[in-house]
């Protein structure tokens, strides 16, 4: 995944929404594995072998208890080379849980255990890194805004063309995927003055390999995923916003910048220990005219399609239900986002059921076939099923998969 024409001068990893519990759960193992992988990536590079920083963008603890914070600190102490790697942690709504005394108590615990400021402006290898902890849940009050504005001015004055890396827990509203339900707009008027900002945020648990998890308008925004469980920012799916097997989730970002201010972002699947098969490239962060991850991406003719040998079939047929299984569609860019499944009464043509599901693109090892149970049908009735595929950019397949079946008699 290494770009031979890109020599890093700065490398860091970003995670968020780790959700350490009081008990030892898989989140601890995933976080420690992520750190191990990041060091391995650094050591395997031909020329630049350092991991300069680890950024944790909020909700590292599930409810902010002292047990959780100390366990997280223990993982960092055992896994991070402090002589090489700066550790920067922000807090947010989960650390501020009222169960453990709320925001003020959480900040006191954090200061005592981690011995670091919860708002920081650091210069690492010549690159400005600004991190901001929320207040009142996931908002930013006037003091926070003043801190951000001052730090951004200083960073831009130092070098107006250099990327500024900015970290906070909630997304900026209407930027990356997940930011409609899980975004805040407090910082947008400040950040919008600095196109060279590369902004990292979590909160939504939205997959980082979703192409909408990078967004450019006034600045570059990136979602940071989760090491705990997936949640998606759509309400039209049959199972709501939390998909099946949502707990099979551990993703991080590896970020590199070079001496010419170019930035490369590598989304990584920690569970399977694999890069996702693409790199996000930001060659001129300070020039919005060069932005390529904009809303213009919705103006596309690229559509998913089913291959000639793809098929669908009904299984586990009962009196009022069945399971539809089908081969996944293809697309020439990104992934297939999801599918609409329509069940029609064969005799009348009336639609009796219509459901939407995701393609499970958020798993690195996404399945080649999908299955979905559909119920609420009539017994002893013939049905036709049609499946169409959807892209992230609101295009649908021109062809579809079809099959027929008959429910059992009562």
CATH number of the domain encompassing residue 379: 2.60.40.10
d(CA 348, CA 383): 10
The DSSP letter of residue 139 is B
d(CA 164, CA 198): 6
Kindly state whether residue 207 falls inside one of the protein's structural domains. Answer: yes
Bridge-based pairing of strands 274-275 and 251-258 is unpaired
Q: What is the pLDDT of residue 331?
A: 97
Contacts of 409 (CB under 8 A, 6+ apart): 319, 379, 380
- Please report, in tens digits, the pLDDT of each residue of the chain (410 residues total): 666 789 999 999 999 999 999 999 999 999 999 999 999 999 999 999 999 999 999 999 999 999 999 999 999 999 999 999 999 999 999 999 999 999 999 999 999 999 999 999 999 999 999 999 999 999 999 999 999 999 999 999 999 999 999 999 999 999 999 999 999 999 999 999 999 999 999 999 999 999 999 999 999 999 999 999 999 988 889 999 999 999 999 999 999 999 999 999 999 999 999 999 999 999 999 999 999 999 999 999 999 999 999 999 999 999 999 999 999 999 998 999 999 999 999 999 999 999 999 999 999 999 999 999 999 999 999 999 999 999 999 999 999 999 999 999 98
> What is the residue-averaged pLDDT of the chain?
97
342 lies in the same domain as 233:
no
The DSSP letter of residue 192 is T
177 lies in the same domain as 28:
yes
Domain boundary among 298, 324, 348: 298
122 lies in the same domain as 182:
yes
Structure tokens given for 409: 């008699």
CA atoms within 13 A on the CB side of 194: 28
Bridge-based pairing of strands 120-124 and 127-132 is antiparallel
Kindly state whether residue 306 falls inside one of the protein's structural domains. Answer: no
Domain that holds residue 172: 8-298
Bridge-based pairing of strands 263-269 and 251-258 is antiparallel
Kindly state whether residue 365 falls inside one of the protein's structural domains. Answer: yes
290 lies in the same domain as 320:
no
Kindly state whether residue 124 falls inside one of the protein's structural domains. Answer: yes
CA atoms within 13 A on the CB side of 226: 25
248 lies in the same domain as 393:
no
261 lies in the same domain as 328:
no
Structure tokens given for 408: 């059992």
Q: Are 338 and 349 in contact (CB under 8 A)?
A: no
156 lies in the same domain as 106:
yes
Contacts of 29 (CB under 8 A, 6+ apart): none
265: left (phi over 0), alpha (psi -120 to 50) or beta: beta
Q: What is the pLDDT of residue 3?
A: 67
Kindly state whether residue 305 falls inside one of the protein's structural domains. Answer: no
Contacts of 407 (CB under 8 A, 6+ apart): 317, 318, 319, 320, 321, 322, 377, 378, 379, 380, 381, 383
253 lies in the same domain as 334:
no
322 lies in the same domain as 383:
yes
CA distances from 29 to 18, 21, 339 (A): 10, 12, 34
d(CA 212, CA 221): 10
CA distances from 259 to 39, 162, 266 (A): 21, 9, 18
Q: What is the pLDDT of residue 2?
A: 60
Domain boundary among 236, 266, 298: 298
Place of tokens 């990893």: 13
State the CB neighbour count (10 A cutoff) for residue 102: 13
291 lies in the same domain as 320:
no
363 lies in the same domain as 223:
no
Kindly state whether residue 3 falls inside one of the protein's structural domains. Answer: no
Q: Which residues pair with residue 334 across a beta bridge?
A: none
Domain boundary among 267, 298, 329: 298
Q: How many domains does the chain have?
A: 2
227 lies in the same domain as 335:
no
Q: Which residues pair with residue 265 across a beta bridge?
A: 255, 280
d(CA 359, CA 366): 8
d(CA 255, CA 280): 10
């Amino acid at each position: 995944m290494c770009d031979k024409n890109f020599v890093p001068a700065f490398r860091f990893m970003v995670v968020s929404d780790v959700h350490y519990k009081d008990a030892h759960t898989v989140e601890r193992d995933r976080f420690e594995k992520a750190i191990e992988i990041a060091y391995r990536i650094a050591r395997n590079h031909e020329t630049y072998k350092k991991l300069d920083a680890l950024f944790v963008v909020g909700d590292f603890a599930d409810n902010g208890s002292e047990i959780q914070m100390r366990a997280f600190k223990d993982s960092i102490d055992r896994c991070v080379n402090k002589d090489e790697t700066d550790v920067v942690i922000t807090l947010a709504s989960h650390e501020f849980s009222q169960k453990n005394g709320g925001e003020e108590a959480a900040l006191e615990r954090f200061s005592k255990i981690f011995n670091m400021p919860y708002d920081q402006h650091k210069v690492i290898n010549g690159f400005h890194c600004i991190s901001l902890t929320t207040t009142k849940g996931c908002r930013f009050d006037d003091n926070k805004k003043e801190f951000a504005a001052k730090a951004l001015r200083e960073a831009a004055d130092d070098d107006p063309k250099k990327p500024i890396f900015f970290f906070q827990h909630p997304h900026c509203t209407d930027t990356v995927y997940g930011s409609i339900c899980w975004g805040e707009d407090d910082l947008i008027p400040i950040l919008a003055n600095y196109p060279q900002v590369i902004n990292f945020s979590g909160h939504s648990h939205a997959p980082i390999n979703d192409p909408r998890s990078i967004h450019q308008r006034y600045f570059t925004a990136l979602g940071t995923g989760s090491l705990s469980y997936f949640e998606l920012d759509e309400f039209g799916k049959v199972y709501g916003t939390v998909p099946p097997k949502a707990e099979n989730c551990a993703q991080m970002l590896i970020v590199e910048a070079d001496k010419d201010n170019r930035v490369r972002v590598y989304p990584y699947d920690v569970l399977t220990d694999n890069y996702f098969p693409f790199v996000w490239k930001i060659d001129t962060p300070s020039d919005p005219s060069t932005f390529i991850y904009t809303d213009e991406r919705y103006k596309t003719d690229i559509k998913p399609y089913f291959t000639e040998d793809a098929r669908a079939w009904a299984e586990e047929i009962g009196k009022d239900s069945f399971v539809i299984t089908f081969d996944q569609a293809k697309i020439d860019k990104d992934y297939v986002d999801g599918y609409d499944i329509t069940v029609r009464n064969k005799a009348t043509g009336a639609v009796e059921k219509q459901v939407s599901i995701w393609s499970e693109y958020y798993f690195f090892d996404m399945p080649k076939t999908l299955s979905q149970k559909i119920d609420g049908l009539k017994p002893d009735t013939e049905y036709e099923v049609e499946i169409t595929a959807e892209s992230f950019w609101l295009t649908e397949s021109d062809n579809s998969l079809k099959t027929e079946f008959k429910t059992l008699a009562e």
